[in-house]
Structure 1
Amino acid sequence: MKKIGLFFLGFLIIGFVFFIDYVIMPVWSLNYPLTLIALLVLAAIASGVIIGLVRQKVAYSSLLLVAIVLVLIVGQFFRSTSIFHHAEKRALIGDIQEKQFTTEISPVDLTKLPEVTPNMALNLGDKRLGEDLALGSQVTLQSFWANHVDGELYYVAPLAHSGFFRWLDNKEGTPGYIIINAANQRDVKLVREIDGEAIRIKYQPSSFLGDDLKRKIYRSGYRNIGLTDFSFELDDEFKPHWVVTLYKNRVGASGSDPVGVVIVDPATGDMEEYDLDNMPTWVDRAIPMDIAIDQINYWGRYVNGWWNPSKRGMLQTTDGTKIVYNNGRSYYYTGITSAGADESTIGFMLVDTRSKESVLYRISGATENAAMRSAEGAVQQFEYTATFPVLINLEGEPTYYMTLLDRQGLIKQFAFVNVKDYSIVGIGESKQQASSNYVARLRDRGQWSPLENAYEEVELTGKVVRIGTTTIDAATYYYLLLDTKAEKVFIAPLSMSNQLPLTKEGDQVRIHYFDSPSSSVNLSNFKNLDIGEAGTNN
């Protein structure tokens, strides 16, 4: 009877180990909490069965297994707790540099600013799938990832299995991905092939059994290291890949820190491992957002040690995080505020999504939520909802950019809100219109001047090719095209010069503007040379 019981015990232990290895997929290392819990449950099962079989005092010695595991757990607690290891946790983020905003953050091209949000991308993608009735019944969309490809920002999502039986019907993989231009909500494509070769997404999170992406990597030799942040990314030829972050716990069973990535071919399952220093250049994201934010908060929380009841000098991230792009690199953006602060920030931080290099820009101003409420208040009669803002350099000013959505989630207007003074808001039905409104309000407040801009003022003479007007909040703005700079649209308010309404096509003019990469540029000075000195405000 005891032999049968021992055989049953062995079978139970083997079955339990197989279950947690195949289904739960813990990291087999004592530095990961899930493994310690699994060992505790395993020891409890073994002890319980032995006691039930033997029913003698000696059998209670099997409880030693449970005691040993409990000692390991307690030991890991003391190795992990911030009470004793706050300095190590604060150092996880690495050295944080402090830089000037206007000299480091490049001015934006308004045409490149994103219109599409992740939620909007899902709606647009579902609509595109609905146009293909046969495909729409087989697959679904679960998540979109931001990708920077060939100088453009896209949202990309693989076609995912809509259930177990759909997976059985499509064991070779789903046939492609949806790609949406983040700056143009009408640019939505279903990509089924690259250079004539059909795309198959066989290994993905929505697959089952051996086709499950995590299980494929886990059973390929990655049982003793953490796997997280399964990102769908495109290389420079728009070929899809899965980029999965490898991480280790640096402070006992806590303090997760990325150490590299595994890049998986979604069709074949072939994989390559890279350190953070030698990844392919097309990889945008190797640092998980949640790990980056946790490490920033460690850095801010333990500035004066673990025991700091007065919260002296303590900093924390604001609610919400966004991926932003600057000079072709992607960063996590988050505001930094004093502990307990509600509406104001002491600055913001950018964390490189590839290297974790972190930079703090000390600019006192409004939090993202305060800026969103300010933009919504400017159009409160419409009850629009602001999207979480993107921080940009607009006309040399740190500025929040966001879209305003109606109740159906459709873009109705665009908004720019000044970081240092969130009462300065520019609203418009286009990015260019909102930008002109914003700059006009900066001028009215005396907060926009040539000395504060990070780029040079340019003088240009040319012939007017086209001229038009628009009215924003009862103020008239003129839009000009010149033959000497045909790729840019120049914008000036009527208040700049009384010569503007007298200007016609063919007139020779002299303008001043700041050399921004944007295709629409606000003028700092205007003069019609054919009119001479008459009628000028300057």
Structure 2
Amino acid sequence: MKFVILLTISLFMMPWTKQERQSTVKIMWIPVLFWLVIGILEYFFLIDNQISSILTTYTIVAAGFIILSSYFYENDNKVLMIKATLSVLLITAFVYTTFFHSMIIAKNKYEGVNFEVHDISEPFTNEDTPFSVPPETARNKMLKVFGNIDNVSYFELGDLTPQIVNGETLYVAPIEASGFFKARKAGSTPGYITMSGTNPDAEASLALGYEMQYVPSMYFNDNLQRIVRKAFPKGIFYGEPKFEIADDGKPFYTMTYGDKVSLRSGFNVKGVILVDPNTGDIQKYTKEKAPAFIDGVLNFETASLQNEYFGYLAHGYWNSLFSQTDVKIPTDWGTYEGVTPIFGKSGKMYYFTDFTSPKEGVDSALGYSLIDARTGELNYYNGELVKGVMDGSAAEEVVDNTFKKEKWHGTMPVIYNVYGEPSWVVPVTDDGGLVRQYAVILASNAKVFATGSTQKEAFNKYKSALSRTDSTHRASTTSEEKNIEGDVLRVYKEIDDGVTFIFILLDNSDKIFMVSSSDFPYAMFTEQGDTLKLEYADNNEQIVSVNQYQNLGID
């Protein structure tokens, strides 16, 4: 039907007068050129066969060719009026669909976002392992083993995708063809490379022997997007293909599909297309039925689009420009299209973004979102602890200033709920992308932070830093208060920034109890054999902070 409509429109590019019809050349060249342009656009841009695609792709092109035919052909006034009217209608349809309709349905885009509002995200502790290796670090590691590929000049490293494979958090990157002639010479690509997403000291690994023929960097009928468009000529896709591997190591490409909110405006995710790059086999899945190994049914571009709808369009398009009531701007320093992929405790992938105020010069965050990468559900966190905290750029600046002498930089900042407080976890890298340190920064107070050569060390030091602050920032997590009375088996004391921290091991518990001398000065006199009565927050960690301390051997 789409091409029938275009054929009907092309009739208006033909000469209608008897005099003009006598010239075969004049009859043919303008409509022939129009269809040549259609062929080029269809082939290179893989335009879907929805009738509505005419509105944004071909109306302005058709109007131009009709006007061109009016100039070259000697039409009478009646014919010129018909062509002029049609041209105006086509241009009006293009302008309305491309610009005004998108403004009108802005509220519909917002309402299409499936979101929930919460106070703060689930707690993270030093026993957890956040996804914290920056992409540039992983890429540098991958490039070191890239040279081991046969005929390496034929190939280049593709885009990195974070995912969990057999319970291990990894970056995976396909080996792509390097240009047209090398792609034709190679015929296929040999596989992919993996790298740990939690251990920056790990080495990358090659996975070869897969002979991936249908990939984004191939051409003609081997091009991944082309075979997907051939299989689904009316499909609506958004964003770039994404590479993932199954738990058995088999590689796949995914493409996010959905439908428009209205006419050609907006995008709602419906599911994912799965492509076997070896055989070209293509499967279509809804979000609910996508294979379990696919961590990201939504690609990065789609997640970023959801954040824009949610942040800008709560009260429509014009409000986002002028009064800006309830407008919150998603930041753009995420690692992928403005979002940063992270993994929750359950192993589920989320896309993280913090939101800031539209007011110029404000560097505080209004909240942050975690988008479920499989369902598209947006969880927005803006409780009292979160409002007014520093944004990601401010967290990076704290790190940059701390390591100014070393010329190290903060990268990939993500807010976690650390010991009950919203805290920025920031990897610290040198100019070569090597992770040198980790920083944990209290999001509401840049003066409270800690660094360590490992995440665990940084978290432990951060707990100490929180203990030195006032009670509202004391490490407490969300666990219940417990009491214990026992004899001291061992005691260890550590001085940090003028404050003594006493670490105590009792005879009736495997916990290590941490007491700050700034809270309980007499704790400095704790000795082996003393009987203590303690109150602490049981947070399922090995080291716990003491809220109440009493030495029964001291009056």
Asked if 1:403 is matched to 2:427, the reply is yes
Alpha-carbon distance, 1:427 to partner: 1.2
**Alignment correspondent of 1:371:** 395
Among residues 188, 198, 212, which one is paired with 1:183 in the alignment? Answer: 198
Residue type matched to 2:263 in 1? G
Alpha-carbon distance, 1:483 to partner: 11
**Alignment correspondent of 2:167:** 151
1: CA distance, partners of 2:357 / 2:157: 39
Q: Is this contact kept in 2: 1:13–1:46, CA < 8 A?
A: no
Among residues 15, 20, 24, which one is paired with 2:45 in the alignment? Answer: 24
What pairs up with 1:301-450 in 2 under 5 angstroms?
301-308=312-319, 309-320=322-333, 321-326=339-344, 327-340=346-359, 342-362=362-382, 363-364=386-387, 365-447=389-471
Q: Which secondary structure state, in structure 2, belongs to the residue aligned with residue 243 of structure 1?
A: strand
2: CA distance, partners of 1:217 / 1:206: 14
**Alignment correspondent of 1:219:** 230
1: CA distance, partners of 2:547 / 2:326: 45
Q: 1:80 to 1:462 in 2, by over 3 A?
A: farther
Q: Is this contact kept in 2: 1:93–1:299, CA < 8 A?
A: yes
Q: Is this contact kept in 1: 2:483–2:533, CA < 8 A?
A: yes
Among residues 244, 266, 278, which one is paired with 1:233 in the alignment? Answer: 244
Alpha-carbon distance, 1:67 to partner: 3.2
Deviates more, 1:366-375 or 1:296-305: 296-305
What pairs up with 1:111-126 in 2 under 5 angstroms?
112-126=129-143
Residue type matched to 1:100 in 2? D
Alpha-carbon distance, 1:286 to partner: 2.2
**Alignment correspondent of 2:7:** none
Q: Which secondary structure state, in structure 2, belongs to the residue aligned with residue 441 of structure 1?
A: helix
2: CA distance, partners of 1:11 / 1:370: 58
Residue type matched to 2:200 in 1? Q
Alpha-carbon distance, 1:245 to partner: 0.6
Deviates more, 1:290-299 or 1:279-288: 290-299
Q: Is this contact kept in 2: 1:315–1:339, CA < 8 A?
A: yes
Q: Which secondary structure state, in structure 2, belongs to the residue aligned with residue 215 of structure 1?
A: helix
Q: 1:345 to 1:78 in 2, by over 3 A?
A: closer
- TM-score, structure 2 normalization: 0.80
Residue type matched to 2:232 in 1? G
Superposed CA deviations along residues 462-511 of structure 1, whole A, max 9, x for unmatched, are: 9999999987667777889999999x9x58478485478x779xx99999
Q: Which secondary structure state, in structure 1, belongs to the residue aligned with residue 241 of structure 2?
A: strand
**Alignment correspondent of 1:262:** 273
Superposed CA deviations along residues 83-110 of structure 1, whole A, max 9, x for unmatched, are: x33322321213x322232xx5142455
RMSD, aligned α-carbons: 3.8
Residue type matched to 2:469 in 1? R
Q: 1:225 to 1:290 in 2, by over 3 A?
A: closer
Q: Is this contact kept in 1: 2:164–2:295, CA < 8 A?
A: yes
Q: Is this contact kept in 2: 1:178–1:188, CA < 8 A?
A: no
Q: 1:463 to 1:378 in 2, by over 3 A?
A: farther
Superposed CA deviations along residues 123-146 of structure 1, whole A, max 9, x for unmatched, are: 11111113x163532321131011
**Alignment correspondent of 1:164:** 180
**Alignment correspondent of 1:129:** 146
Superposed CA deviations along residues 198-249 of structure 1, whole A, max 9, x for unmatched, are: 3122222111111111111112223452343311112232322111011322
Percent of paired sites with the same residue: 23
Residue type matched to 1:192 in 2? A
Q: Which secondary structure state, in structure 2, belongs to the residue aligned with residue 272 of structure 1?
A: strand
Deviates more, 1:118-127 or 1:441-450: 441-450
Alpha-carbon distance, 1:393 to partner: 2.4
Residue type matched to 1:366 in 2? M
Superposed CA deviations along residues 42-76 of structure 1, whole A, max 9, x for unmatched, are: 45336535753x43336645455533421321342
Q: Is this contact kept in 2: 1:390–1:402, CA < 8 A?
A: yes
1: CA distance, partners of 2:160 / 2:487: 46
Q: 1:481 to 1:185 in 2, by over 3 A?
A: farther
Q: Which secondary structure state, in structure 2, belongs to the residue aligned with residue 251 of structure 1?
A: coil
2: CA distance, partners of 1:403 / 1:217: 38
| Structure 2 unpaired stretches of 5+ | 1-21, 334-338
1: CA distance, partners of 2:513 / 2:411: 27
| Aligned positions, number | 515
1: CA distance, partners of 2:489 / 2:65: 84
**Alignment correspondent of 1:57:** 76
Deviates more, 1:477-486 or 1:143-152: 477-486
**Alignment correspondent of 1:247:** 258
Q: 1:312 to 1:15 in 2, by over 3 A?
A: closer
- TM-score, structure 1 normalization: 0.82
Q: 1:306 to 1:133 in 2, by over 3 A?
A: closer
Asked if 1:87 is matched to 2:107, the reply is yes
2: CA distance, partners of 1:469 / 1:28: 72
Q: Is this contact kept in 2: 1:424–1:441, CA < 8 A?
A: yes
Alpha-carbon distance, 1:293 to partner: 3.5
2: CA distance, partners of 1:247 / 1:267: 25
Asked if 1:6 is matched to 2:23, the reply is no
Q: Is this contact kept in 1: 2:313–2:327, CA < 8 A?
A: yes
Superposed CA deviations along residues 406-433 of structure 1, whole A, max 9, x for unmatched, are: 2222221110011222321111222222
Q: Is this contact kept in 2: 1:477–1:492, CA < 8 A?
A: yes
Among residues 189, 197, 203, which one is paired with 1:174 in the alignment? Answer: 189
Alpha-carbon distance, 1:375 to partner: 2.7
Q: Is this contact kept in 2: 1:99–1:360, CA < 8 A?
A: yes
2: CA distance, partners of 1:312 / 1:64: 41
**Alignment correspondent of 1:98:** 117
**Alignment correspondent of 2:57:** 37
Q: Which secondary structure state, in structure 2, belongs to the residue aligned with residue 423 of structure 1?
A: coil
2: CA distance, partners of 1:252 / 1:179: 41
Residue type matched to 2:116 in 1? Q
Superposed CA deviations along residues 246-269 of structure 1, whole A, max 9, x for unmatched, are: 132213332222222111111111
**Alignment correspondent of 2:88:** 67
Q: Is this contact kept in 2: 1:433–1:472, CA < 8 A?
A: no
Q: Is this contact kept in 1: 2:418–2:477, CA < 8 A?
A: no
Alpha-carbon distance, 1:147 to partner: 0.8
Superposed CA deviations along residues 334-391 of structure 1, whole A, max 9, x for unmatched, are: 2233321612223222221221212222222111111221233333332321012122
Alpha-carbon distance, 1:122 to partner: 1.6
Q: Is this contact kept in 2: 1:139–1:160, CA < 8 A?
A: yes
Q: Is this contact kept in 2: 1:36–1:69, CA < 8 A?
A: no
Q: Is this contact kept in 1: 2:467–2:516, CA < 8 A?
A: no
What pairs up with 1:492-511 in 2 under 5 angstroms?
492=514, 495=517, 497-498=523-524
Q: Is this contact kept in 2: 1:107–1:516, CA < 8 A?
A: no
Q: 1:168 to 1:372 in 2, by over 3 A?
A: same
